Structure 1
Amino acid sequence: MKKTFPLTHSKIHPERLVDSIRAEVNKYLKRERNKKLPEGQDFWDFDCKAGITADSAVEVHVSALSRAIGQALTDGGETVYVEVISKAAKRQKKSEQGA
């Protein structure tokens, strides 16, 4: 998902637009997590970027994506760019460090 969302509308307050953007992103994440995993993979991992424009977007963790969307409104941007790329991954076992 690579999408630029507007943060201005003639009838909708910007805070409600941010809420709808967050809802759409969360719906996308849920849909991707429900897809069947390839053989030998444990979970779906996401590479996320967010910013006012595609050029100024920075990498963020999926748990900080919602905060980054709200930050674009706080920074005074007219738009917010969100990029979420899903990839299958395998969990790494924690090494036994002091037993």
Structure 2
Amino acid sequence: MCRINSQKASVKKTFKLDIEGKNRDRVLEATKHEIRKYVKRQRRVPLPEGVDYWDFDCKFGSNEANAAVVHFATITSLIDALAKDGGAEFYLELLAKPGHRAARAAGAEPSDQADRD
């Protein structure tokens, strides 16, 4: 079941990886594609005034009851690890929220430019 809240864009869904008659690897890739599609669609939504980007609160687990808060960037690796261990399904909750960039100190340089000098 997928619930999309119009007030705050969110996805709360249990994805099944073992579907009779379908290749597990194709189901896994289709699941990741669906997640990427949601994120891409949400990032196209116009930003409210004073917001720098769309951020996501994420929960991941083998089911809704044991879902834990995770960082957005780790979702794909968590899905791959669960699939590799033979998990039959997983629960994912994504909640879009306004993100604000933290200002750097006036004299601070990005870390990659410091390596070039």
TM norm. shorter chain > 0.5: yes
Q: Aligned-pair distance for 1:88? A: 0.7
- Counting aligned pairs with the same residue, the percent is 35
Amino acid at match of 1:77: G
**Which 5+ residue runs of structure 1 have no aligned equivalent?**
none
Amino acid at match of 1:76: G
TM-score by length of 2: 0.76
Residues 14 and 98 (structure 1 numbering): CA distance in 2 closer, same or farther, change over 3 Å? closer
State the distance in 2 between where 1:21 and 1:15 align: 10
Show CA shifts across 1:2-44 (max 9, x none): 0001111122122211111100000000000000111111100
Counterpart residue number, 1:64 = 74
Q: Aligned-pair distance for 1:77? A: 2.1
**Which 5+ residue runs of structure 2 have no aligned equivalent?**
1-10, 110-117
Figure out how many residues of one structure are paired with residues of the other and give that number: 99
Residue 11 of structure 1 aligns to a residue whose secondary structure is coil
Counterpart residue number, 2:18 = 8
State the distance in 2 between where 1:60 and 1:15 align: 24
TM-score by length of 1: 0.88
